[in-house]
Structure formats: structure tokens, C-alpha cells
Structure 1
Amino acid sequence: MDNASFIASLLAGAAAGTSTDLAFFPIDTLKTRLQAAGGFFANGGYFGVYRGLGSAVVASAPSASLFFVSYDAMKTYSRPVFSKLITSSDQMAETATHMFSSSAGEIAACMVRVPAEVIKQRTQTHRSDSSWQTLKKLLQNENGEGIRRNLYRGWSTTIMREIPFTCIQFPLYEFLKKKWAQTTGQSQVAPWQGAFCGCLAGGVAAATTTPLDVLKTRIMLSHSSIPVMQLARHIYKTEGWGVFYSGVGPRTLWISAGGAIFLGVYETVHSVLL
């Protein structure tokens, strides 16, 4: 990956992440409140839907940049490896490349995303605290578990959600772009076509991984650490299996529309810079 590609991925990712968070933050707030223990109205309802925006905006550019720099770099380096390992099908080799590269990108992005998500979601479900006040409470370590564990609460669950999500979204996104380009006789799709592919791929991935998103939300909002399987059993016994699809509508809508903007902006900025 040369310097020009690195800078293009860095800037395109930053623009994509920031624009998406600003445009669809209220839908994300509604989704979080639907998934939180106690229900939608107990956690704020329709009031203060921009609460927690500060932490999201601060983290969106660096986390998206980390994702795309890692994703684009790993595509370059891993494609020859998978081509040698999977000789029976070029499409399978490409799919494996995109799954591996997007997973690496998500792990890198979560270094920034997880603390921001903890702060954001706690602020979204609190009736008075700002993002800054939530951060100060976490740094005070009131539960005695340590600042790192408080800020990175839900790290493993987030990774557990993001890897299946991205393994569905990005191979599907790249496949749809490739097929669209082949159908129209182009070498690559236009940015608006990439946005449409991102919308469809994001919606499919979002709906499929909603149960993992519910678990991630509950863990991030809990006062103390709790094993994910123990939490899943507790939710099932006390609230039923249907709660695992709480917020599936807003989540699918948000990520479908957000995927169109996120990947559309990325494609546009990337095409301008290269």
C-alpha cells in the first residue's frame, strides 16, 4: 500500500465516518433505548435524541480511518496469499480476502470505537448527563473494576458482533459492486452505485446480527462486568427470545441508510484523491 493510497483511505474513511454519525445519530439513539433494560420510555423515549453525539463525533473520524486503512492495506497484502491457498475459485479467494481484511479493519477500529460506544450509549440512556460527564464518571472508577475495564466494557462482545457483521457486509458489498460493473461493462462502479451496494449489504448484515448488538448494548450499559452467556441466559429467562431482536427496525434502517452514506462518501472521496 503506497503513501497516496494510505492518505486516500485515511481521509475518505474520516469523511465517511463523520458524515454517517452526524446524519443518523437520532436513529442510533432510538435503537439503543429500545435495547436497554427497562424499555424505550424508561431510558428517555423520544427526548434528547442527540444526547451522546459529542463522543460519537470525536471518535467517528479516527475509528473509520483506522478501519479503511487496515481494510485496504490487508486487501493488498492478503489477496495473493488467498489466491495461492484457494485455487479452485477466484470468487472464493476474493470473498476470503474481503472477510479477512474487513475483520482486521474492525478490530483496529474497535480500539477507538469501544470506549466511544460505552460513553455514547450510557449518555443516550441517561436523562441529564453529557458525554463529558459520563466520561468523568467512568474515570472515577466507582465500581472498582479499573478504568480500562470500564472504558472497554463490551470489547469482546463488540468484536463478536462486528466480525460476523463485517464478514457479511463487505464481501456482499464488493460482490455487488463487481457484478454491477460487469453488467454495465464498466471497470468499476460509480460512487452512487457503490452507495446503493453499501445500503443493501449493510441492511442484510444489520438485521442478521441484531441479537449480538442487543447483548453488546446490555453489557456496555451494565454497572459491572457480566459474562456474555450468563447475560444471554438471563435475558432469555426474564424477557423472552423476542427481546434479542429489539431495535431491529431502527438498526436495519440506520445501517442501510448509513451504509449508503458511509460507503458512498468513501467511494467519492477515494475516487477524487486517487
Structure 2
Amino acid sequence: MSLFGNFLAGGLAGLAVDICLFPLDTIKTRLQSEQGFFKSGGFTGIYKGIGSVLSGSIPGACVFFVIYEGFKAYFSVYPSGSTAEATVQAIASALGAIAACIVRVPVEVVKQRSQVSLEASKSSYDVFQETVKKEGYRGLYRGFRITVIRDSTFSLLEFPIWEQMKTSYAVYMGIAKTAPFAAACLGGVAGAISGFLTTPIDVAKTQMMLAESDSMATKMGFFQSLARVASQGGLPGLFRGAIPRVCWISIGGFIFLGVYDSALSYMSTVAA
């Protein structure tokens, strides 16, 4: 499969997930907000911020999969199911996540600030302009490092788990390749595991992005941010919003990796 095929399949997968599961993401963000769920909007306006996601989901997913599949293809000499192959998959997913953050972080900043804004008429573009006016374009990259840590850690867990489960399933079933539907189900499991384990990083990232520009939260490092969240709510505080996050990522993993696998299979059939 060409890089263009990976680019297109990844973009379609990212867009499908973001449109279908945006309400769950909004609920998760509001649960993690320091203001509290209901003060951040509760169940109202759950599609606020969708404009920023629609503009950035395809580029972000495309960048990820081009890096991910390109790196795997370059080191494709390792036998399937080997430790070396799993290591390549882990590194490839982490590199893809880091590269995608260049696109994802500004989208995430605008999206999350839109999700907790109580001004019903404020659009994603209004939030974008307000952020740039107050903080400059640098403000769009608030929380970049912690997002890189979250996404690369998540990808380090999710994709090797997914790839290994697909390989094991194919061997168990005695088939050459796992079908797209089965791959989608396994993607949901891999996403749920990875999403739960990385929730504390996500909580710290959310609070950093939503904090006022002159607050201490914006000046803290990764471990300081985690410690701050823990000091406010203990262990439950670190896993605030875990249920909607796991649901969102689990269903998202099913849709995202299922659409991606299906798109690749379809394009391979057409190319043949």
C-alpha cells in the first residue's frame, strides 16, 4: 500500500471517529475541568468545538498513519510476531503520535476551550481568535509537551497491543489475515486498555490547556502537573473522566481502526 493510501485511509478513519464520538469527548472534557462538570456546561451544547475538529482531524490522522506505516515498511524485514517487529510497531506509533501533535495540539486547545465556554454564540473560530489575541500563536501550543507524552504513551500501548492481538487471532483462527470487523473489535479492546492507563496524563493535559494564561498550571512540568491533580482529588482525581474516556476511545478504536483496515483492504482490492 502506498503512502497516499495510508494518508487517505487514516484521514477517513480520524474523521469518522471525531464526528461520531464528539459528545462523549465533550462530557469527558467537562468532567476533567477544574470548574466542574455543570459549571463547564453540563449536558448542553455537546457539539461545541466541532468546527475545530472537522478542520484538523483529517490532517492529524493522515500525518500519524503516514509516519506509522512508513516506519513499519522501512523495517519490514523482521518476522511477523517477533519481539523485533513489536518494537518497531511501538516506535512507529510513538513517532506518528509525536508528528501528529503538531496538528492536533492547536485543534485540541481550541476544541476544549470551546467545549467549556458558557457563551452559546462563541464559535471555534472565535475561540481561536481570542487565544491568539491573548497569548499569540504560541498559546495554540499550550500543553504541547504533555500532549506529546500522552499521545506517544497511548500509541506505544495501543498499536502494539492491537497488532499482536490481530496476529494471535489470525493464528488461532488459522487464517492468513484478520478480517476488518474482527480487527475493529480488537482495536476497541486495545483502545480501552490504553485509554484507561493514560487517563491521569489526559486530566493533567486538559487542566493545563484550560487554565488562565497567567496561572501556575501553565508553568508546570509533566510530573508537577500530575502531582497538582493528585493533590486536588487524590487517586480518583487522576482518573476523573475515565469512564467516558474509555468508552470514547474503545468505541473510537473500533471505528478508527476498523475504518482504517477496511479502507486499506478496499484500496488494495481496487489496486489489484
Which residue number in structure 2 is paired with residue 10 of structure 1?
7
Per the TM alignment, residue 231 of structure 1 is displaced from its structure 2 partner at its CA by 3.0
Which residue number in structure 2 is paired with residue 185 of structure 1?
174
Per the TM alignment, residue 157 of structure 1 is displaced from its structure 2 partner at its CA by 0.2
Which residue number in structure 2 is paired with residue 112 of structure 1?
103
CA distance in 2, matches of 1:46, 1:262: 25
Question: What's the secondary structure of 1:32's corresponding residue?
Answer: helix
Q: Calculate percent identity across the aligned residue pairs.
A: 40
Count of aligned residue pairs for this structure pair = 261
Per the TM alignment, residue 105 of structure 1 is displaced from its structure 2 partner at its CA by 0.7
Which residue number in structure 2 is paired with residue 95 of structure 1?
86
Residue among 168, 171, 175 paired with 2:157: 168
CA distance in 1, matches of 2:8, 2:226: 39
RMSD of Structure 2 on Structure 1 (CA): 1.5
Per the TM alignment, residue 90 of structure 1 is displaced from its structure 2 partner at its CA by 5.5
Q: Structure 1, unaligned stretches of length 5 or more? A: none
Residue among 239, 242, 248 paired with 1:248: 242
CA contact 2:105–2:144 (8 Å) conserved in 1: yes
Give the alignment's TM-score, normalised by structure 2: 0.92
CA distance in 1, matches of 2:153, 2:104: 17
CA contact 2:81–2:164 (8 Å) conserved in 1: no
CA contact 1:154–1:219 (8 Å) conserved in 2: yes
CA distance in 1, matches of 2:10, 2:229: 36
Matches within 5 A, 1:34-113: 34-80=31-77, 83=78, 91-113=82-104
Give the alignment's TM-score, normalised by structure 1: 0.91
Amino acid at match of 2:42: G
CA distance in 1, matches of 2:227, 2:256: 35
Which residue number in structure 2 is paired with residue 238 of structure 1?
232
Asked if 1:196 corresponds to 2:185, the answer is yes
Question: What's the secondary structure of 2:75's corresponding residue?
Answer: helix
